Structure 1
Amino acid sequence: MTALADFSPTITRSTLADGRDLIYFDDPGAGPRVPAPDGRDLPPRAEPGELRFDALSGDWVAVAAHRQARTHLPPADACPLCPTTPSNSSEIPDADYDVVVFENRFPSLGPVLADLPSSLAWGESVPAAGRCEVVSFTSEHTGSFGELPYTRARTVVEAWAHRTAELSALEGIRQVFPFENRGAQIGVTLHHPHGQIYAYPYLTPRGAQLAAAAQRHFEATDGTQTLLGSLLDSERSDGSRMVLEGQHFSAFVPFAARWPIEAHLVPHRDVADFAGLTGEEKDELADVYLRLLAGVDALYDTPTPYIAAWNQAPLDPALRPASRFHLQLTSPRRAEDKLKFLAGSEAAMGAFINDTRAEDVAARLREAVASVSGVAR
């Protein structure tokens, strides 16, 4: 394995016509970039949506009616993530790029930043503070993250780490969440290979649930062990649900998996987020993630829809030490031609009923990962 711990993409900052930030991350060796100006005549940025507090559940709800006008499955020649051409003035002014990150034109949160109160009285709302960014993995309109060459995937990992560090330092941000929705069955609005990053001004319901469980375990062990570290040790010892193991990361199907296809990719040491990874860990993460995605796509003859949810520790210093960074990759695909839909029990009560056994899915994934060739470096 070639060590790439000093991996350093070229980072170039620019600004779009309406004032939104745009950042190019070019593969190492690409040389300096002089960004092209955004020649579009864009309207001013929309006012932020609202945040409302649901007193019944204690959850925050974002109201973003302005997103009704966002781009939805445009043809390839009008894709907003492809490089700009004479016939298509896209969100990326340059004629080519490797990886690019920019503020979403139709954000659920932001562009304002603010500290939220702990709650609101019934009938009150506040501006939807926070930040939403788009991460385009490649200038190629077709393909997927799993088909990226290793160096490009490694550049994306570096972009995730860079954005995690900067977004975590913004006023009022409580949780930074990189994710990818892949496939029309998941509800993507753009086919171009891309992901997103949400910087929330509150701890999300799922984030709070995971953080509370992690905190209970951490306190029960007198701060000597994280919950995810303990679960990883148990899964590696048992072995029946392991999918792949590396020097720094391992992937397994969790014992109580909720989705027909579910795999967790977990670092071997306690680390809070992308920004806390060492160079060697980032090197391996790009490799094992590509192998895991290749295995998921090898399960069936057609690409499998998924959500790649990169869980990072909350920014609350009281909760952060108990949490460990990890990926939760899930898919509703329960058979070649069948999807799991969240209906009464899952959607209304949050009580999942899985149609597959974790051990069976893990065995299929192990075989699928073993059948794909290694990632070239």
Structure 2
Amino acid sequence: MDQRATLSQRIAGQPVHRRHIQKADGRDLLLYGYHPHNETPQTEDASEVAKGGELRWHPLRSEWNLYAPHRQNRTFKPAAAADPLAPSVAGQSATEIPFTDFELAIFENKFTSLHAEAPEPPSMTGLKIARADGRCDVVVYTPEAQGNLHTIGQAARRLLLAAWVDRYETLREAGYKFILPFENRGDEVGVTLPHPHGQIYAFPFVPNVQAKAAKAFAAGYSLEDGIARWFDDYGVARAGGISAFCPPFARFPFEVWIAPDQRCAGPWEFAEDQTDGFAHLLGDMTRRYDVYFQRPTAYMLSLHAAPAGTDDSFHFTAQFYPLLRAPNRVKYLASVEQSTGTFTVDVMPEFAARTLRALT
């Protein structure tokens, strides 16, 4: 299988090209770029791929948990020469991306938690169990082994956003209930591959956090009004109708949200200036964090777009959760947070906003 297309999204008038091939083991690989990709793929080994785990319902928390024991064997901090996200080298064993060059790549995770062909789990008396139907993708931002959302540059961030939108559209059309693009950065978050990358999970259900947010928006909560009221005290930066701010109810020290000033369900609804502003702020926030913490900042970044059926009321946000509370001081999620869900926050959001806003 080798399918090529020009996407409907255009970046500053330039078309975005997508190439879809099937890897030797059956997994999908998608290449996105400003230029058509025509290189012949290198030969790959076809090893067996585990097809997801299982879902088990937690009766006291009313939520699904995902079990995938095969992920214990996933790649763990390989040597630079064995980077599985790097371009392949001619004459050597192919990496996950069997080409010597690419702009941005997305492929199905070999150590997936969710899979469209996940097996039916065995029944257990008194326990609610379901197939781990879904999909897990790895998003490789750049062929370079080092970098971050700031250093890859605006053109690469715009391309990343176009790829995210394409995956949103495809996975929503496939019937998944919630799509979560995210990035884990830094040892404190448990990152096992340093190559600049993120992931996308497509869930067969709406997780609790997003279900509660959707319920609040449907009941009339207006983040749009909140941004307008808060920005003077809690704002960090603005660009193209998009705001970066520390929410006054932040749970993490120096937590920042990036959101359109006017409500929209997801980035597939962005106008050109919003797309440009959002891409800029992704890089700008990464830069500000690294300047303040004087190091590559460990964080969790997640994109919260509308779950299925909530486009008319949901307000899209991208949320940064740093794992530092000061330079060289880690924010640990300890007993209170883990046991109750009640966070103890060491930094007032208004102080965090002033501090990050002042950085140049």
TM-score by length of 2: 0.91
Count of residues in correspondence between the two structures: 347
Query: In the TM superposition, what are the counterparts of 1:198-213 in structure 2 within 5 Å?
Result: 198-213=201-216
1:172-229 per-position Cα deviation (integer Å, ceiling 9, x unaligned): x10001011011111111100000000001111211222222222x2xxxxxxx5221
**8 Å CA contact 2:51, 2:112 repeated in 1:** no
Quick one: distance in 2 between partners of 1:48 and 1:247? 40
Of 201, 226, 234, 1:231 maps to: 226
1:132-165 per-position Cα deviation (integer Å, ceiling 9, x unaligned): 0010000001111221121111111111111111
Quick one: distance in 2 between partners of 1:231 and 1:73? 42
Structure 1 or 2: larger strand share? 2
Amino acid at match of 2:338: A
User: Which runs of 5 or more residues in structure 1 are unaligned?
Assistant: 115-119, 219-225, 372-377
Of 64, 73, 80, 2:77 maps to: 73
Query: In the TM superposition, what are the counterparts of 1:136-175 in structure 2 within 5 Å?
Result: 136-171=140-175, 173-175=176-178
Amino acid at match of 2:188: Q
Of 45, 52, 62, 1:58 maps to: 62
Quick one: distance in 2 between partners of 1:269 and 1:35? 42
Query: Is 1:335 paired with 2:326?
Result: yes
User: Which runs of 5 or more residues in structure 2 are unaligned?
Assistant: 1-9
* Residues 1:113 and 1:323: Cα distance change in structure 2 (over 3 Å): farther
Of 6, 19, 37, 1:12 maps to: 19
CA drift at 1:36: 3.0
Query: Is 1:25 paired with 2:32?
Result: yes
**8 Å CA contact 2:210, 2:307 repeated in 1:** yes
Structure-1 residue corresponding to 2:345 = 354
Of 299, 313, 318, 1:322 maps to: 313
Amino acid at match of 1:267: P
Quick one: distance in 2 between partners of 1:14 and 1:279? 29
Q: CA RMSD in A?
A: 2.0
Structure-1 residue corresponding to 2:7 = none
Query: In the TM superposition, what are the counterparts of 1:205-284 in structure 2 within 5 Å?
Result: 205-216=208-219, 218=220, 227-236=222-231, 239-284=232-277
1:263-320 per-position Cα deviation (integer Å, ceiling 9, x unaligned): 11110222111222223321221122212221111102211111111111111x2x33
CA drift at 1:5: 4.3
TM-score by length of 1: 0.87
**8 Å CA contact 1:52, 1:62 repeated in 2:** yes
CA drift at 1:365: 0.4
Identity of aligned residues (%): 32
* Residues 1:243 and 1:124: Cα distance change in structure 2 (over 3 Å): closer
* Residues 1:164 and 1:132: Cα distance change in structure 2 (over 3 Å): same
**8 Å CA contact 1:227, 1:322 repeated in 2:** no
**8 Å CA contact 1:5, 1:283 repeated in 2:** no
Structure-2 residue corresponding to 1:375 = none
